[in-house]
Structure 1
Amino acid sequence: MTKDAQPVHALLVVDAQSAFVSGEGAVPGAARLLTHVNELISGARAAGALVVHLQNDGPPGADDEPGTPGWELHLPVRPGPAEVVVRKTEDDGFYETRLQELLSRSGVRALAVCGVMSEMCVSATARTALELGYRVVLPHDAHATYDIPPAAGISGPVPAAMVARTAEWALGDGIEIVAHAADVEFTAPAPRPGR
């Protein structure tokens, strides 16, 4: 997608929670990731696009267990009609949440996805968005994950950058992968009449 491509109406920020993007447990390149995610959020806000922060509720004892420091969203949220938090318990941000209703009510037809983890929550959410008929843009520099550790008799370690790229590829031809967050343009959605 180039600068003259069709803009998107919403940004889904997937699990940008402190456990995954700060401190010793952060994904590789977390500072760079946060720069690009912030760039997307700023662009969406300036255009009046919908910003949805997905927040995972991990199980007891997990790094993202609700109420723990790791569960907190790392980036500031500006709550309002165009910026909301949607909590989830599964990889897929649409599963048993109000995300689909929110997007539909807001008139969203095209969206961008960013955050963590590339092969898990980012991928699962993007895949469902595609299945629901949304146009989905995935900026390569605005999602990340961890290295895959070695597995005896199977493979050595797999670097996080390769895992992220493979996750993009596995989403198939329907996804629009762009190199940089700066290549994503936003516009305000047009709510459906009567909503």
Structure 2
Amino acid sequence: MNDFAPPSQALLVVDVQKAGVTGERAVPGAAGLLERVAALIAGARAGGALVVHLQNDGAPGSDDEPHTPGWELHLPIGAGPAEVVIRKTRDDGFADTGLGDLLAGAGAESLVVCGVMSEMCVQATARTALALGHQVVLPYDAHATQDIPAAPGISAAVPAAVVSRVAAWAISGDAEVTVRAEDVTFAAPPGTRRAPAGERPASP
């Protein structure tokens, strides 16, 4: 693993909701992505790190409209104070949520960010984490997005893997973006976690 990345004290799982990882609209390679994200979650739990599942509340009629099948988180949520779900309405997981206070209260300085979509919610959340002074690891094989369709007369289609790589490269000067998910390690943050306003406790 790159020396830039110490054992991380928190894992942010961004929008791993059924609309984005199952069915006809799933991101390319969704099965492999889910395996790697699940392994990161297992590693974070074993290491005592904070696990935060971000859940996007989409607009009415969207695939991730609240309380529709596509809105549901796909991976099981663990019980206990070190694993929480935070709902959001914007790409940036810190915007108008208690995420920043949660991380600060736990003393979590080093973060892993994973999930979907690479160039939208994943990148926006990672950028704010960096701006707040966190060390950020964005494993190259643990975030994904959709292909960008061709625009006739402007550009050919852009494969999803290229979009993800470019999204990560845009923050590569400040974040670790070339490490594999299987090489990430975790440790417990030093502080005691306190639930901020708007946070939904994890359930078994």
Please give the range of the TM-score, normalised by the shorter of the 2 chains.
over 0.9
Kept after mapping to 2: 8 A contact 1:147/1:160:
yes
Kept after mapping to 1: 8 A contact 2:50/2:188:
yes
Measured after TM superposition, the shift of residue 24 of structure 1 is: 1.0
User: Stretches of 4+ moved more than 2 A in 1?
Assistant: 1-5
Secondary structure in 2 aligned to 1:177?
A: coil
Secondary structure in 1 aligned to 2:138?
A: strand
Measured after TM superposition, the shift of residue 171 of structure 1 is: 1.3
**Which residue in the other structure is 1:119 paired with?**
119
Could you say what the CA RMSD is over the residues aligned between the two structures, in angstroms? 1.3
> Is 1:91 matched with 2:105?
no
Measured after TM superposition, the shift of residue 25 of structure 1 is: 1.1
Q: What are the ranges of 5 or more consecutive residues in structure 1 without an aligned counterpart?
A: none
One-letter amino acid of the structure 1 residue matched with residue 12 of structure 2: L
Kept after mapping to 2: 8 A contact 1:3/1:183:
no
- Judged with a 3 Å threshold, the aligned counterparts in structure 2 of structure 1 residues 98 and 43 are, in CA distance, closer, same or farther, namely same
Measured after TM superposition, the shift of residue 3 of structure 1 is: 7.9
Secondary structure in 2 aligned to 1:178?
A: coil
**Which residue in the other structure is 2:202 paired with?**
none
Which digits, 9 at most, give the CA deviation of each residue in 1:92-124, with x for residues without a partner?
A: 000000000000001100000000000000000
TM-score by length of 2: 0.91
Structure 2: how far apart are the matches of 1:3 and 1:40? 19
Structure 2: how far apart are the matches of 1:21 and 1:3? 32
Kept after mapping to 2: 8 A contact 1:43/1:185:
yes
**Which residue in the other structure is 2:179 paired with?**
179
Measured after TM superposition, the shift of residue 5 of structure 1 is: 4.8
> Is 1:15 matched with 2:32?
no
Measured after TM superposition, the shift of residue 2 of structure 1 is: 3.5
Structure 1: how far apart are the matches of 2:20 and 2:86? 18
Which digits, 9 at most, give the CA deviation of each residue in 1:9-52, with x for residues without a partner?
A: 00000000000001111000000000100010000000110000
Which digits, 9 at most, give the CA deviation of each residue in 1:115-172, with x for residues without a partner?
A: 0000000000000000000000010010000000011221010000000000011114
Measured after TM superposition, the shift of residue 4 of structure 1 is: 9.6
**Which residue in the other structure is 1:128 paired with?**
128
Kept after mapping to 2: 8 A contact 1:33/1:141:
yes
TM-score by length of 1: 0.95
**Which residue in the other structure is 1:151 paired with?**
151
Q: What are the ranges of 5 or more consecutive residues in structure 2 without an aligned counterpart?
A: 193-204
